[in-house]
Amino acid sequence: MSDTSTRERYPDTMQAVSPTTTGVAFLARPGRPAVVARTLVELAGPTRGVVELPVRLMWNAERTFDLGDPDQLLWMYENVLRETTRAEDLRVLINGRTLRRVWRLLNLPRGVRQAWESRHRGLRAA
């Protein structure tokens, strides 16, 4: 079979496409789109105290986080941003001001970081 006949039978499906122009979701993990809040203002989660994550966000028996401990705060935010499938989780567990403050310190999957930074451009400079 010649090169020409192969191209006619199999269209070029490996084109680079921008997710922002096509609506293709950034992935938190294979098969799971990252969930992003519409605005940072709507993120009204706690800024102090102890928070216990639901099992669907943290499968470990140790699901409580003291927000006064910087390492625990980062670990909680990373888990919520990576694991959530609901915008409501973001609204009640993440605080917009705190998110902006710790954004660069968070260890997030590339798809999660890209999704948030494409919607909230100010996070890129945070």
pLDDT tens, residue by residue, 75-100: 999 999 999 999 999 999 999 999 99
Residue 21 lies in a domain: no
Flag whether 96 is in a domain.
Answer: yes
Number of domain units in the chain: 1
Q: Which SS3 state, helix, strand or coil, does residue 106 take?
A: coil
- Predicted confidence (pLDDT) per residue in 51-60, tens digit: 999 999 998 8
The answer to whether residue 77 is domain-embedded is yes
- 17 domain-assigned: no
Query: Has residue 11 been placed in a domain?
Result: no
Share of the chain above pLDDT 90, in %: 68
Full domain range(s) for residue 50? 27-120
- Report the distance separating Cα 55 and Cα 52, nearest Å: 9
Average pLDDT in the chain: 83
Report pTM: 0.78
Are 82 and 112 a contacting pair, CB within 8 Å? yes
Q: Is 116 helix (H, G, I), strand (E, B) or coil?
A: helix
Tell whether 2 is covered by a domain.
Answer: no
d(CA 84, CA 89): 7
